[in-house]
Amino acid sequence: MSHLSHTLQAAPPVGVSAAPGHAALIERARQLGAAFAELAAEHDATGQAPEAQFEALRAAGLLRLTIDRAHGGHGAGLAVACEVIRALAYGDPSVALILSMHYSLHSQIARSLQQGLGEWPEALAHQLIAESLEGRSLLNAAQVEPALGSPSYGGLPATVARRVGDIWVLSGHKRYVTGVPLLSWISVLAVTDEAEPRLGSFLVPRNAPGVEVIETWDPIGMRATASHDVVFHGVLLPLDHTVGLRPAPLGLRRDAQAIAWYFGQVSAVYHGAAQAARDWLLHFLNERKPSALDGACLASVPTVQDAVGRIEGLLATNDWLLHSHAQAHDAGTAPDHLGALVKQVVTDNAVQAVAQAFELAGNHGLVRRNPLERHHRNVLCSLIHAPPNALLRAQAGRRALQEAAGPS
């Protein structure tokens, strides 16, 4: 019996009727993270999407984590979601990244319905909720394009929605659609062809006629995210399958909640991967006894202890930033710019921590049978999540300089 099967049999699936506390859900995520770690190397080697892992997450009740309690979910905020994501990323960050996107979109749906914002059409929102409660119905967004790159730099997508009578006809090409083989719905950023074009998202069933997945994803890390290209060939959509349509000249406007969830969860993914690297390293340093040390282990060497201390400082900083930001966001007290700082610092620290572990492990870190080389490749992928840290630093610098200059 696999560890994954044993884990699922050892603890019954969480059901809404059991009214579990969030602590129990976080503990279930830790158990599954440990089970997913046993499968991570295989999925890294093949690039195969982690379908069995998401069936386990569904059985554990974790796919409904951020759906409002009033609609049958667990009603979790960002703090709980980040703890779940970090626990799963410790085992396999590819699984955690796919899930984080699903959580973010459902948190937006919950907020829209709770506050009557009208961003998500009510009938569509309830359909997406019902499908996520009944089965493994995953959501994610598609925004990056071959020519545009990431919309965080500005510019409008080439993906176009034409109105023909009472339907939209969607055509375009998106890249890096995380988890696309497992998705049920894709939220596609596009412009309309109206006399006064609007920009917004169009909800597309992945299996709709005209949706073509092109298997282009072949990176050095985060391989099991299966973030392939998707081409939309005149896909027909109802008029109410749109979210947040606004005049296109205004550009892409993200609200503070969506930004906080994105930055917080992406950071939690790579922090979890860095923690896994750190724990492997500590075990290695305690076990490794070079002959030059006369029976002592590497962990006894003062320079090694100093280097491990630097890793501890980096990851402890991440812990506090992630926790403080998520708690403040849930309490409504987090400054809007704090999420960008969290993403920048946490991902930079994760890369530095694993690079330090790599150096301490020496040749052992390069060996494929040891997971450290996989952790290293995975955390390096944190550098490509838009907006890049260089852009976030520049924005923080401009803000500080403008505040110091005072009113113009």
* All structural domains of the chain: 3-136 (1.10.540.10), 151-250 (2.40.110.10), 256-405 (1.20.140.10)
Flag whether pLDDT at 9 surpasses 80: no
Q: What is the pLDDT of residues 232-253, one digit of tens each?
A: 999 999 999 999 999 999 888 8
All residues at 6 or more sequence positions from 227 whose CB lies less than 8 Å from its CB, including other chains: 176, 177, 178, 179, 180, 217
Beta bridge partners of 187: 141, 203
| Least confident segment among 135-144, 189-198, 365-374 | 365-374
Locus of tokens 């050892």: 10
- What band does 16 get if pLDDT is binned at 50, 70 and 90? very low
The three-class DSSP label of residue 213 is: strand
pTM assigned to the model = 0.93
Residue 394 is encoded by which pair of tokens?
Answer: 């520049």
Q: What percent of the chain has pLDDT over 90?
A: 81
Mean pLDDT, the chain, integer:
92
Distances (CA, A) of 119 to 2, 238, 241, 320: 43, 16, 11, 33
Q: Which pLDDT score is estimated for 20?
A: 52
Residue 384 is encoded by which pair of tokens?
Answer: 């490509």
- The residue type found at 184 is S
| Least confident segment among 223-237, 269-283, 381-395 | 381-395
All residues at 6 or more sequence positions from 86 whose CB lies less than 8 Å from its CB, including other chains: 96, 268, 269, 271, 272, 275, 322
Q: Which of 285, 280, 337, 340 is nearest to 307 (CA)?
A: 285
- The answer to whether the bond into 50 is cis (omega within 30° of 0) is no
Q: What is the pLDDT of residues 316-366, one digit of tens each?
A: 999 999 999 999 999 999 998 999 999 999 999 999 999 999 999 998 888
